[in-house]
């Protein structure tokens, strides 16, 4: 079975500072990994995905994530935070055979301080 | 349609009443998923449809919960004899078969049981 652990339910950064949101996964088979963002009162929007191609994945809004098999991690980063990045971020894992529902972490709320 | 549509967006119901939540997926998306989002709990998987059949309904919390999908399109999640602990945001998502490209989420239905 797959599972996801997001370290830190709330992360606060200053505008312009590095954003680092941590995600560790557990999977008995090679995984597909995803990051989603949720703005207030909205559904989830796909930021980026890892599907066994390049280990460094670039997504929308300047975010990227690196798949590290040895560390079972898929941390999300952005070099410089903007006020508009304030939202809830979810990491998710699926078996790479597809046809199985995504398993989500509990989310990390990102606050950006001016 | 252009996106995943859920209705109603908000529902307040009295304890013990039945409710129906509707999801209209993206046209051509054969897979459809229901998740429940409670404060601080992340996304909890409920049920998954491939076409009109439900290969995985392992997440339904009790027999008060049921879902169906007709014509490979619209899905309805029904909660009978609602309880206060059913209060949550119910999210629907759809994807192409396998879901490896990621899911598209609707904006959700916020259910409040009073």
pLDDT in tens, B70-101: 988 999 999 999 999 999 999 999 998 777 78
Calculate what percentage of chain B has a pLDDT beyond 90: 81
Cβ-contact B83, A27 below 8 angstroms: no
Report yes or no: B55 at the A interface, CB cutoff 8 Å: yes
pLDDT, residue A99, reads 64
Kindly determine whether residue A42 and residue B93, on different chains, have CB atoms separated by under 8 Å. Answer: no
Q: Residue B1: is its pLDDT beyond 60?
A: no
pLDDT, residue B56, reads 86
DSSP secondary structure letter of residue B54: E
Alpha-carbon dihedral sign for residues B50, A42, B24, B60: positive
Q: Residue B57: is its pLDDT beyond 60?
A: yes
Residues of B in contact with A96 (CB under 8 A): 100
pLDDT, residue B74, reads 96
Residues of A in contact with B106 (CB under 8 A): 43
B90 Cα to chain A: minimum distance (Å): 10
Cβ-contact A22, A6 below 8 angstroms: yes
pLDDT band, very low/low/confident/very high, at A95 (cuts 50, 70, 90): low
Q: How far apart are CA A52 and CA A94, in angstroms?
A: 12
* Structure tokens that stand for B9 in this block: 């967006």
Q: For A90, phi and psi rounded to 5 degrees?
A: -125, 135
Q: For B99, phi and psi rounded to 5 degrees?
A: 70, 15
Q: Residue B51: is its pLDDT beyond 60?
A: yes
Kindly determine whether residue B40 and residue A44, on different chains, have CB atoms separated by under 8 Å. Answer: no
pLDDT band, very low/low/confident/very high, at A97 (cuts 50, 70, 90): low
Report yes or no: A103 at the B interface, CB cutoff 8 Å: yes
- Chains A, B: CB contacts within 8 A come to 61
pLDDT, residue A59, reads 94
Average pLDDT over residues B42-60: 91
Interface mutation target, options B23, B102, B106, chain A, most CBs of A under 10 Å: B102
Report yes or no: A43 at the B interface, CB cutoff 8 Å: yes
Report yes or no: B7 at the A interface, CB cutoff 8 Å: no
Q: Residue A65: is its pLDDT beyond 90?
A: yes
Q: How far apart are CA A3 and CA A38, in angstroms?
A: 20
Interface mutation target, options B42, B50, B89, B109, chain A, most CBs of A under 10 Å: B42
pLDDT, residue B19, reads 98
Q: How far apart are CA A19 and CA A113, in angstroms?
A: 12
pLDDT band, very low/low/confident/very high, at A52 (cuts 50, 70, 90): confident
pLDDT tens digits, residue range A19-45? 999 999 988 777 889 999 999 888 899
pLDDT band, very low/low/confident/very high, at A98 (cuts 50, 70, 90): low
pLDDT band, very low/low/confident/very high, at A101 (cuts 50, 70, 90): confident
């Amino acid at each position: 079975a797959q599972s996801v652990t997001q370290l830190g339910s709330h992360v606060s950064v200053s505008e312009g500072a590095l954003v680092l949101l941590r995600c560790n996964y557990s999977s008995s088979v090679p995984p597909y990994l995803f990051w989603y963002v949720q703005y207030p009162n909205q559904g989830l929007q796909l930021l980026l995905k890892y599907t066994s191609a390049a280990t460094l994945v670039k997504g929308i809004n300047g975010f990227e994530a690196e798949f590290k098999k040895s560390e079972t991690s898929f941390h999300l980063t952005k070099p410089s935070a903007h006020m508009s990045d304030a939202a809830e971020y979810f990491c998710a894992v699926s078996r790479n055979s597809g046809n199985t529902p995504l398993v989500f972490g509990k989310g990390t709320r990102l606050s950006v301080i001016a | 349609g252009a996106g995943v549509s859920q209705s109603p967006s908000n529902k307040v119901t009295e304890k013990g009443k039945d409710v129906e939540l509707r999801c209209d997926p993206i046209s051509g998306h054969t897979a459809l998923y229901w998740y429940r989002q409670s404060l601080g709990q992340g996304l909890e998987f409920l049920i998954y449809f491939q076409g009109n059949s439900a290969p995985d309904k392992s997440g339904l919390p009790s027999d008060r919960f049921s879902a169906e999908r007709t014509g490979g399109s619209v899905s309805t999640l029904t909660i009978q004899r609602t309880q206060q602990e059913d209060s949550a945001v119910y999210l629907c998502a759809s994807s192409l078969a396998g879901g490896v490209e990621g899911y598209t989420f609707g904006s959700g239905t916020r259910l409040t049981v009073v």
